[in-house]
Amino acid sequence: MGEEARRGTHAHGRSENASRTGGEGATVSPGGRAAAGDGSARWRRVGVVGLGTMGAGIAEVLAGSGLDVVGVERDTDALRRARGRIEHSLDRAARHGRLADAARGELLGRLSLGTELAAVSDCDLVIEAIDERLDAKTALFARLDEVCLPATVLATNTSSLSVTELAAGTGRSARVLGMHWFNPAPVMGLVEVVRTVVTDADALAAVVSLVGAVGKTAVVAADRAGFIVNALLFGYLNNAVRMVEARFATREDVDAAMRLGCGHPMGPLALLDLIGLDAAHAILASMYDQTRDHLHAPAPLLGQLVAAGLLGRKTGRGFYTYPATDAPDVPPEGPGRKDPGAVGEPGAVGEPGAVGESGAVGEPGGGGGAGTAAARTPGGPATPGEAGAVGGAAVRVRSVGIVGSGTMARGIAEVLARSGHDVILRARRPDAADAAHDRVAASLAAAVAKGRLSDDDRDAALGRLRVTTDLGELGGCDVLLEAVVEDLAVKRELFTDLDKVARPGAVLATTTSCLPVVECATATRRPEAVVGMHWFNPAQVMRLVEVVPTVLTGAGATATVTALARAAGRHPVQCADRAGFIVNALLFPYLNDAVKMLQANYATIEDIDTAMTVGCGHPMGPFALADVVGLDVTLAITRSLYEQFREPGYAPAPLLEHLVRARFLGRKTGRGFHAHAPR
């Protein structure tokens, strides 16, 4: 790892801004006035040009922090809309008790709005937030350069254009930088401050200080397409669009998978609708221009939606359909959603029986994707008699046999026993079987101690759990679920054995996270009964289950494990049998991209983690997460994605391989990207 990358040269936390950038203690005083004993004190009057979605929010934040703000729009109509936007936002803050009447009056008193650009001439800083068009921005910067005092610093809120190019078009390139805010500006805590190769260090430090003074966190990034957040986020978002485009999974299932599997506040498609599909398309196109990485080339579906004027929430329809334009609500992703209208929706285009198709949304009671699994086998509607006992609807599951005694096997056994299923857990050795039983008992006891489970329910759950070393004892179970080591030869051999002992009509399921489910299916004489059921760790906590039918799986088998997941209080999503399923296929390329960004010395571990947590609301940054997952596991999954998809962009980052070779595996070895206290 390069020293530069480790040193942490940039500010990344409010408390650290001052010390790491030369500023000292920029604070917001109790009265709300930005007061600082450092660079940020030089900002008294700030101009904001373009008061659309972003500019209006930025002006509100600055005026709310005690700065005098001069807002400029291009004409009176646009100015009227801008006033409405600000009023609306302040109303909302007041409704939520975040803004008192007096403070609102003061804030509005500090805000002067007009249509004359000359009004910003004596500002210390001018932030440009007009449309994302290079020609428009270049012309505006040329005019600002003319009308503003020589000392005025000019900042652009561009998401994807070259700050360097904008700076070069002025006579003050050292005092031009990027200030990339996040939407909605009053709510989101991050601002990426973008320096070019000629940016003046004092101007940069003072802008970073200002960001801290208005209550946001700054990370400093060099001028590269997408900076930190978008460069990592948009590859992931594009990937999600391609999944829907390829009918690999439904939009609802992709979104639910990332919310429940990764704790993201929004799924990628709902997020794209919020960002605006036109903006997303422009950002990806600009990233592609710079990187020439096929993974950044906007997915054709995105371009089609934009061409059709379906731009997301702002037009009332994008991947989802909203009750109104600019609707504040996230579309429901749960059952009951019937929305056959959205373009690009799997199943919306009539093409029955496409292999890999994940089915239609909006079927009766559907929307949860996997909920209607019975009606949609990946291989198309089953020919009568084709799938035998598992060819129809869900079979009610009373008993489950679990093979394995590791973390997943025990966690799943506990969840299923607690939800009223008879469970037989089979380990290879008697001591392992007993230990598994004791671990489940201890976990149930811990739930009782935390007040999450009654004594009676614990006793009932334990009463439903049996352990054995004899695979034959699983023969009578309705579902036989394998959770042994992630090794294809071992799993195939086990499936051959399960096929021998399982009763006719039983469903055989695998918990594999990376291996092809179909390889397990072909090790049996009943491939129609074999399906993937991918749980997440810890199973007791994580609500997501990916249900993975192969091209050979019967509809009944898919429906049965889907219903079983629901009965166990889990949220099933369905996808085709492709490496990484939904979550890992979206998550690991993103983690790998973060490692590549680090490897290129573009930003530090801390800045990247901060940018993704503060800027996107992710529960963990990519490096903190890789350390939890394990760098060896991260590498193995990244390799398996690369081997299956042959995408050059999925090739594991050399730095990741290097760290694994050095046994920097993350929390488990005390050191990964971060150092960890020994456990």
Ligand X SMILES: NC(=O)c1ccc[n+]([C@@H]2O[C@H](COP(=O)([O-])OP(=O)(O)OC[C@H]3O[C@@H](n4cnc5c(N)ncnc54)[C@H](O)[C@@H]3O)[C@@H](O)[C@H]2O)c1
230 catalytic? Reply is yes
504 burial level (CB within 10 Å; 0-12, 13-18, 19+): exposed
Which residues make beta-bridge pairs with 176?
154
Verify binding: residue 315, ligand X, rule CB under 6 A: no
Q: Which helix (H) or strand (E) holds 547?
A: strand 544-549
Verify binding: residue 275, ligand X, rule CB under 6 A: yes
> What's phi and psi for 330, nearest 5 deg?
-80, 140
Q: Give 41 or 79: the residue with its C-beta nearer to ligand X.
A: 79
673, 623 contact by CB (below 8 A):
yes
The whole-angstrom separation of Cα 495 and Cα 174 is 66
Q: Give 36 or 120: the residue with its C-beta nearer to ligand X.
A: 120
Contacts of ligand X in 357-386 (CB under 6 A) = none
As measured in angstroms, the least distance from the Cβ of 182 to ligand X is: 6
Alpha-carbon distances, residue 651 vs 579, 591, 635 (angstroms): 14, 12, 10
Contacts of ligand X in 34-53 (CB under 6 A) = 49-53
As measured in angstroms, the least distance from the Cβ of 23 to ligand X is: 24
Verify binding: residue 134, ligand X, rule CB under 6 A: no
From 60-68, 176-184, 462-470, 525-533, span contacting ligand X (CB under 6 A): 176-184
Helices (H), 368-429: 407-418
The whole-angstrom separation of Cα 465 and Cα 467 is 7
Contacts of ligand X in 86-125 (CB under 6 A) = none
As measured in angstroms, the least distance from the Cβ of 576 to ligand X is: 32
Minimal CA–CA distance to 274: which of 319, 238, 340?
A: 319
Q: Is 411 helix (H, G, I), strand (E, B) or coil?
A: helix
Q: Give 611 or 629: the residue with its C-beta nearer to ligand X.
A: 611
As measured in angstroms, the least distance from the Cβ of 674 to ligand X is: 29
Verify binding: residue 231, ligand X, rule CB under 6 A: no
Verify binding: residue 615, ligand X, rule CB under 6 A: no
Q: What residues contact 72, with CB distance under 8 A and at least 6 apart?
A: 47, 48, 49, 50, 51, 113, 114, 115, 116, 117, 119, 120
From 20-28, 69-77, 319-327, 330-338, span contacting ligand X (CB under 6 A): 69-77
The whole-angstrom separation of Cα 295 and Cα 80 is 40
Q: Is 367 helix (H, G, I), strand (E, B) or coil?
A: coil
From 132-140, 146-154, 320-328, 614-622, span contacting ligand X (CB under 6 A): 132-140
Give the pairing of strands 34-35 and 27-28: antiparallel
675 burial level (CB within 10 Å; 0-12, 13-18, 19+): exposed
Chain residue whose CB lies nearest ligand X? 52
Q: Give 184 or 356: the residue with its C-beta nearer to ligand X.
A: 184
The whole-angstrom separation of Cα 585 and Cα 605 is 23
From 130-138, 347-355, 552-560, 637-645, span contacting ligand X (CB under 6 A): 130-138
Name the residue with tokens 């008192």. Answer: 100
As measured in angstroms, the least distance from the Cβ of 85 to ligand X is: 9
Cis peptide before 298 (omega within 30 of 0): no
As measured in angstroms, the least distance from the Cβ of 205 to ligand X is: 22
89 catalytic? Reply is no
Q: Is 204 helix (H, G, I), strand (E, B) or coil?
A: helix
As measured in angstroms, the least distance from the Cβ of 649 to ligand X is: 24
Q: Give 83 or 337: the residue with its C-beta nearer to ligand X.
A: 83
Q: Active-site residue among 60, 73, 192, 333?
A: 192
Residue type, 225: A
Q: Give 81 or 668: the residue with its C-beta nearer to ligand X.
A: 81
Among 129, 565, 603, 608, binds ligand X (CB under 6 A): 129
Verify binding: residue 439, ligand X, rule CB under 6 A: no
Q: Active-site residue among 17, 65, 89, 230?
A: 230
Verify binding: residue 130, ligand X, rule CB under 6 A: yes
Verify binding: residue 74, ligand X, rule CB under 6 A: yes
From 38-46, 106-114, 178-186, 236-244, span contacting ligand X (CB under 6 A): 178-186
Counting every residue, how long is the chain?
Answer: 679
As measured in angstroms, the least distance from the Cβ of 178 to ligand X is: 10
209, 215 contact by CB (below 8 A):
no
Q: What is the contact mask toward ligand X in residues 179 to 198, using x (rule: CB under 6 A)?
A: -xxxx---------------
Q: Encoding tokens for residue 177?
A: 């930088």
Which residues make beta-bridge pairs with 411?
none
Name the residue with tokens 């936002």. Answer: 89
Angle CA(37)–CA(40)–CA(44) in degrees, nearest 5? Answer: 105
As measured in angstroms, the least distance from the Cβ of 522 to ligand X is: 47
Among 17, 157, 196, 638, binds ligand X (CB under 6 A): 157
Q: Give 51 or 507: the residue with its C-beta nearer to ligand X.
A: 51
DSSP 472-517: GGGTT-SEEEE---S-HHHHHHHHHHHHHHSPTT-EEEE--SSS-H
Alpha-carbon distances, residue 169 vs 117, 122, 154 (angstroms): 18, 21, 12
Q: Active-site residue among 10, 12, 160, 180?
A: 180
Q: Give 229 or 633: the residue with its C-beta nearer to ligand X.
A: 229
Question: Burial letters for 422-457: b for 16+ Cβ neighbours within 10 Å, e otherwise?
Answer: bbbbbbeeeebbeebbebbeebbeebeeeeebeeee
180 catalytic? Reply is yes
As measured in angstroms, the least distance from the Cβ of 100 to ligand X is: 27
Among 132, 278, 339, 519, binds ligand X (CB under 6 A): 132
676 catalytic? Reply is no
Q: Could you say which DSSP state residue 40 is in?
A: G
The whole-angstrom separation of Cα 264 and Cα 256 is 9
Verify binding: residue 162, ligand X, rule CB under 6 A: no
Say how many residues touch ligand X, by CB under 6 A.
Answer: 27
From 198-206, 275-283, 463-471, 506-514, span contacting ligand X (CB under 6 A): 275-283
> What's phi and psi for 580, nearest 5 deg?
85, -10
Catalytic residues: 159, 180, 192, 230
Would you tell me which residues interact with ligand X (CB under 6 A)?
A: 49-55, 72-74, 78, 129-132, 136, 140, 157-159, 180-183, 275-276, 279
